[in-house]
Structure 1
């Protein structure tokens, strides 16, 4: 850091010459500075998400090095920049420890996080969960998370387009991806 700033360079010179013993380079102060910077960055991301209004979330559960279950929280929104450039932004926000991995508990945890982040759940337009089996098999969990989930939108689409024949793309056969998109091409008017 001393290479890029005269203040830090002078500070390091004083430490080397023992002109000062207060150097703020210990692990505690470094961790505190990292936390302060991380919170400032997170708040800027959330401010941008609130400005964009509509957003989607991805919650992915994974154990940490001590095998404690936790969820990664990722937010995605569309941002219009000053020079009229439209960009999709996707940001990692935090890890949230989980005491349970039931759908109901995860839904409760998600709702608590929304409150902490001051995000309006009515503006939620998409949800993704890595631990989907816990969320899907517990209909109660989905009901606890209001908003416009992809499951709800799919049901609405199927209700209004009876002849819908959209198929999921194959993970391994590229040519089948074309076949999966053909129904959308021919049914776009109905959709």
Structure 2
């Protein structure tokens, strides 16, 4: 109601002159007004689409009341040739089977005056009930409309690359597990978060005083350690970036936990895809390894971390008495660094082949 008053002088005047007991502020009336707004917006969207074609985007998740909800978005071109993505509703689903989801979409389309024959694309995540080749939602819609081509969510493709690497390389998976434990320990309480914030602010002040970092508008904003999300591939990068910037402050908090802590259990887009592939190819060279090692040496020196002699023989921690026949440099460079890059390249090529990359490029 407040929004309507600000947008419309007639509504504002009527509200001002209305009796105190008739100002339409009760929850029931507010819901009715919201529903009227929704119908007006949907009517405008349906008028824009008309008899034209569109793509269907669907995602499902549980709300705060633990009920399964299905969100539906339509993607289409308006009269000016501009791509529009309009949210058209949330449908409560009692089951998450592909047949039930299909029936809910049919019901929603009938309410909106749409037809499955107008669908020219489908976009879902990789869950089998959605993307299954034979019994998934996309297959059931394709059976009725052969032109409703299904495209796997590209954001999930990138996430699957990271997940696949973490599963295939033990050291990488173990590393992310340790990062998760570290975040749990440091962020276990508001007190520890405050300590982390205070230590980092002190480090920033010292760095500014020494001229190590620049000052200016928008620089040196307050940082926090974000928890990575399993379905957001770039969140892992943001977590590691924040951890590297706040490393010394994190160490301070861990020292406090070790000394005074009471919980011993917690003391422990298309061009982007192509450019990423090229960067991986560059990193796969000896120059890429040397560049990484320079950064590692610099980081370790800054934080007083002992550095392994790369020429020493590599010792397998699980079998310390057994000779491996390789030195530390060979293990970390070939068996770890290059192995991860090779798997990354394979995953990118499998999930972003020429057809998918060209499709993504055309959509960008």
Does the alignment reach a TM-score above 0.5? yes
Q: Distance in 2 between matches of 1:77 and 1:88?
A: 6
Write out per-residue CA displacement over residues 92-147 of structure 1, whole angstroms, 9 at most, x where no aligned residue. 11101111111222122222222222112111100112363213336134443222
Partner in structure 2 of residue 144 of structure 1: 140
Sort the Cα spacing of 1:177 and 1:100 in 2 relative to 1 into closer, same or farther, 3 A.
Answer: farther
Q: How many residues align?
A: 160
Q: Distance in 2 between matches of 1:112 and 1:130?
A: 22
Sort the Cα spacing of 1:64 and 1:177 in 2 relative to 1 into closer, same or farther, 3 A.
Answer: farther
Report 1:41-80 matches (<5 A): 41-51=41-51, 53-80=52-79
Sort the Cα spacing of 1:88 and 1:74 in 2 relative to 1 into closer, same or farther, 3 A.
Answer: same
Task: Flag the structure with higher strand content.
Answer: 1
Q: Distance in 2 between matches of 1:56 and 1:102?
A: 21
1:106 aligns with 2:106: no
Write out per-residue CA displacement over residues 19-71 of structure 1, whole angstroms, 9 at most, x where no aligned residue. x53222222212111111111111211221125x0101101001111010011
Task: Flag the structure with higher helix content.
Answer: 2
Task: For structure 1, list consecutive stretches of 5 or more residues without a partner in the other structure.
Answer: 153-168
Task: For structure 2, list consecutive stretches of 5 or more residues without a partner in the other structure.
Answer: 152-269, 280-347, 359-364
Sort the Cα spacing of 1:93 and 1:177 in 2 relative to 1 into closer, same or farther, 3 A.
Answer: farther
Q: Distance in 1 between matches of 2:100 and 2:44?
A: 28
Structure-2-length-normalised TM-score:
0.38
Partner in structure 2 of residue 135 of structure 1: 130
The CA deviation at 1:172 is 7.5
Q: Name the SS of the counterpart of 1:66 in structure 2.
A: coil
Sort the Cα spacing of 1:149 and 1:39 in 2 relative to 1 into closer, same or farther, 3 A.
Answer: same
Sort the Cα spacing of 1:6 and 1:40 in 2 relative to 1 into closer, same or farther, 3 A.
Answer: closer
